[in-house]
Amino acid sequence: MEKRLYFIFGDLVANSFVATVAGALTAWLIGGAWGMVPGMLAGMVLGMAIALPLTLALLFPVLGVMEVMAPCMVSGMLGGMWGGMWPLAGAGILQWGIGTGVAVVVIIYAINAAMSGPQEVGG
């Protein structure tokens, strides 16, 4: 379980940032105009595509590799999903982005706490 404030705070900011940017761009490009399901699916793919360069170029050098890439791809996917489904704008994008980023970090930290440590290696 990560206990260093730099990484906890960094993970929260990074995931909120990625979800917000992915949400804003997909809302600008699609913004619910394609209907609920196509918008959702296109937004998810677009959100991940937006998250990847943000993660590799900006976040990877300061926050780590898998620890930032795995959650940020999910945050990007969810941020893109909201932006694809609904005509989000302004404060709405920010609220969804921050909410998504914080939720993803909390869930990933919980899964990691359950999974980390010695594993059964069998014969």
Partner 1 sequence: MDTATQEKWDRASRTFDLMSAYGPEWRWRPAKLRLFERMNPDAKILFLALGTGLDISCFPPGRDITAIDISPKMVERAKERVAAYDGNMTAQVMDVHAMDFPDDSFDQVFTSCTFCSVPNPVAGLLALRQVLQPGGELHMFEHTGSRLFPFSAMMKLMSPLASKFGPELDRDTVANVRAAGFHLVEVNNIFLDTVKTIHAVK
CA–CA separation, 74 vs 41, rounded Å? 14
Q: What are phi and psi of 118, to 5 degrees?
A: -65, 140
107 contributes a contact to partner 1 by CB under 8 A: no
Q: How many residues bind partner 1 (CB under 8 A)?
A: 28
110 contributes a contact to partner 1 by CB under 8 A: no
65 contributes a contact to partner 1 by CB under 8 A: yes
Footprint (CB under 8 A) of partner 1, residues 28-47: none
What are the angstrom distances between the C-alpha of 58 and each of 16, 24, 34, 67?
14, 18, 31, 14
Residue 47 is encoded by which pair of tokens? 């959100």
List residues near partner 1 by CB under 8 A: 6-7, 48, 52, 59-68, 70, 73-74, 77, 108, 111-112, 115-119, 121-122
